[in-house]
Chains A and B, each alone.
Chain A
């Protein structure tokens, strides 16, 4: 599970965390917020223009994007540490897992807050759709219908966060604390019992119905 979260964090670093897509029959445009490099890139394609430009953003935004990519690298290192010391020092493994999940949560929240602030000024909200005036490279602008929201990198980081959390609960903490292990074991057996009862009930219902007909 931790290996999977490591892979998801690695992929999320290079994928856009926020994107805007729009177009009509002639023009298509896409804007993506990247962490490495910390830039907002817009690409436009039309019969006359192919290419794009780098969005001018305040220095604070670049700093935040840099900070998030730095946090993600730290998270990757922490996951690797927790995997390496899993059998030697369980406490270190637990600490690394908890810290990595906390840092990932901070990175996700920080990005969401920063992008919400930027989009509030420019287009109104973090996610949405509507007609926007898009500047074309080399001059001119066009009114295009656009959709915008979180990018693949953002979703993958949330998935990675859930993976780390579940790996921490079912792995490290579970192993380190016998009481908790017992609790989870009881909980899973309880769920299994409920599931079996439901299955049995359905089978009985089917049998009764078959008998009646």
Chain B
């Protein structure tokens, strides 16, 4: 009896090889004793099952609460492509350099050559991303005010403090300085007036 190979190519929703191990397994109802066959990793996102008897199998891949099952019939060497739908909710709290919410702006999330733009509303933004490492940049009026790398392995809340200053703090500060100058001038004038 001839034995066959099954090559599994997994992609995430962004079209990249998943950055997490999806642990693919094969089982079959035709097995006398139920065992899970595991694959050998040939490159990132590609797995190889070897020495498979011709039969119908259940292919299972998973990461955390996400699982994908697919019936596969093996009667020759095969290559299967699967899109792994795991996406996690990422909440961003974007703040200015004084830790107050940034009212507007855009978040750019990039991985490889793919870029996703998310608008910031009242300091918050939400996005669903497949697991992986992303380059995060925050723009305010086309000016880059923050950048960092983020690793996504599950739902996450990320607080980001940008370099953008606070108009409230700056306003109070300059108002105070003007008031201080005015009071010094008044003090000098009062002293001269009293002496005169």
The interface of chain A, by Cβ under 8 A from chain B, is 1, 3-4, 6-8, 10-11, 13-15, 34, 36-37, 39, 41-43, 45, 48-54, 137-139
Contacts and interface: CB of A to CB of B under 8 A. Distances in A.
B99 A3 contact: no
A139 to B, nearest CB: 7
B161 A51 contact: yes
B149 A3 contact: no
B161 A42 contact: yes
Interface residues of B, number: 34
Interface of B: 95, 97-100, 136, 138, 144-151, 159-163, 168-169, 172-173, 175-177, 179-180, 182-184, 186-187
Contacts of B98: 34, 37, 39, 41
19 contacts: A3-B179, A3-B183, A4-B187, A6-B179, A14-B172, A41-B98, A41-B99, A42-B161, A43-B161, A48-B147, A49-B149, A51-B147, A52-B97, A54-B99, A54-B161, A137-B161, A138-B149, A138-B150, A139-B149
Given A4-B184, A11-B180, A14-B172, A54 B95 contact: yes
Nearest to A159: B180
B144 A137 contact: no
Contacts of B148: 48-51, 137-138
B138 A51 contact: yes
Nearest to A136: B148
A7 B160 contact: no
